[in-house]
Every structure is written in structure tokens, then in C-alpha cells.
Amino acid sequence: MQALEQKILDEGIVLSDQVLKVDAFLNHQIDPVLMQQIGQEFARRFKNTGITKIITIEASGIAPAVMAGLELGVPVIFARKYQSLTLKDDLYRSKVFSFTKQTESTIAISRKHLAAHDRALVIDDFLANGQAALGLADLIHQANAEVIGIGIVIEKSFQPGRQLLLDQGYRVESLARIESLAEGLVTFVKE
Ligand code: 5GP
């Protein structure tokens, strides 16, 4: 997606050869016009697939997921990063190893928002090792609902997440695919 790639080049900050900071438009300040375009692009790629719900994870998945939900006309559920204080029996839970925090945490969604007939689209801001996406897919499977695909705003294609998800049979649609962050430079996969 050209506008997204240009925004990454203009405003992304390469923190290391593994991590890109996009606080200027996605992870802290949010660019609503770009988010709308992102929502439209996800909707274009997943139109006619019968999606009934979008599932994402707080906080940074919410903006692109809501825009996609608006375009596709379906509700958006964001998994909460679960705390024992809110322990309840009516939750689906999954463990996720966080790439940025390097710790394991539990994510959860309420059982009442997902049903066995749902056809779910997973959306997240970044794809690195695939653990967040797999955790979200696990929540969907616990509800006996179907994962129709995984939509990613920024994929770091040099990390193993994409292949892991493809190997498990998921359709992966990434709007920007980064080939390398080496030497402080962002380069994209040529498609
Ligand atoms: P994964 O679960 O695929 O290993 O990592 C994806 C999650 O880690 C995303 O939800 C995102 O929050 C975070 N993440 C992974 N890589 C980056 C990165 O380079 N920059 C930022 N800002 N977040 C990242």
C-alpha cells in the first residue's frame, strides 16, 4: 500500500534492525486519514469472504480494526490484556509472548461476543514472530468460530511470523511488507 509505505519512510524511526517505531501515526498519535485508507484496503482485500467479526488486540490494533469494521460493516472486538483482578469465568483466554516487552501475558475476550457461526478477521498493527496473531486465532477457535484471514498493517518479513501463519493454513494480508531495517534503512519487499 503506497501511502502507508511512504508514511513509514517519512515518519517511521528505525530503533534497531529488529524494531520500527511508528508513534507518529499508528502507535501513539494516530493519523485518521491514513487509518481510513488502511480500513478501505483491508475491506477491499477481504470483501466477499463473509466476515462477521473483526478481532484485534488492545491498544494499537484498535484504530485499523475499527476502520476495517466500518468499511466491512461488522463489529470489532479487541482482546484485553488480561489482569487477574478482572478474573471471570465467561472469558476465552490465550497466552501470548510479547515481542516488544519480551514477557508472556494473557489475552482475553468475553464469550458473549463470539459465537460458533462467526467468520472472523484478525487484524493487528505489526507482525513479527506471529505470537499475537496466533493468540487471537486461538481465542476464535475456542469459540468454534472460523478464522477467515489475518490482516496486518506492517509486516516485518525478515522475521518468522508470516511463514508460521502460512504454515498453519491462514491467509495473511499485510499492507506494508518490510524486507529489512538494517543500517537504519527501511526497505520493502518488492511484490
Ligand atoms: P508478534 O506477536 O508477531 O511477535 O509481534 C507483534 C506484536 O508486537 C504487535 O502487536 C506489536 O504490538 C508488537 N511489535 C512487533 N514488532 C514491532 C515493531 O517493530 N514495532 C512496534 N511498534 N511494535 C512491534
Contact 150, 170 (CB under 8 A): yes
Taking the centre of ligand 1 as the mean of its atom positions, its distance from the CA of residue 115, in whole angstroms, is 28
Q: How many domains does the chain have?
A: 1
CATH assignment of the domain containing 184: 3.40.50.2020
For residue 84, count CB atoms less than 10 angstroms from its CB and return exposed for 0-12, middle for 13-18, buried for 19 or more. Answer: exposed
Taking the centre of ligand 1 as the mean of its atom positions, its distance from the CA of residue 128, in whole angstroms, is 6
Q: Is 76 in a helix, a strand, or coil? A: strand
* Measured distance CA(34)–CA(169) in Å, rounded: 30
Q: What are phi and psi of 45, to 5 degrees?
A: -70, -30
pLDDT at residue 178, as a whole number: 98
User: Residue of the nearest CA to atom 12 in ligand 1?
Assistant: 126
For residue 48, count CB atoms less than 10 angstroms from its CB and return exposed for 0-12, middle for 13-18, buried for 19 or more. Answer: exposed
Out of 125, 138, 163, mutate this one to test ligand 1's pocket (max ligand atoms within 8 Å of CB): namely 125
User: What would the grid cell of residue 2 be?
Assistant: 503506497
Tell me which residue range forms the domain holding 11.
2-188
pLDDT tens-digit map of 165-186: 999 999 999 999 999 999 999 9
Q: Is the CB of 20 under 6 A from ligand 1?
A: yes
Q: Is the CB of 71 under 6 A from ligand 1?
A: no
* Measured distance CA(185)–CA(104) in Å, rounded: 30
pTM of this structure? 0.97
**pLDDT mean for each 10 residues of the chain (191 residues):** 98 98 98 98 98 97 98 97 69 93 93 97 98 98 98 98 98 98 97 82
Closest listed residue to residue 96, CA positions, set 125, 124, 150, 138: 138
Report the half-sphere exposure of 147 (CA within 13 A, side-chain side). Answer: 24
Out of 100, 134, 174, mutate this one to test ligand 1's pocket (max ligand atoms within 8 Å of CB): namely 100
* Measured distance CA(58)–CA(187) in Å, rounded: 28
Report the half-sphere exposure of 175 (CA within 13 A, side-chain side). Answer: 30
Return the DSSP state at 179. Answer: E
* Measured distance CA(141)–CA(155) in Å, rounded: 23
* Measured distance CA(151)–CA(133) in Å, rounded: 9
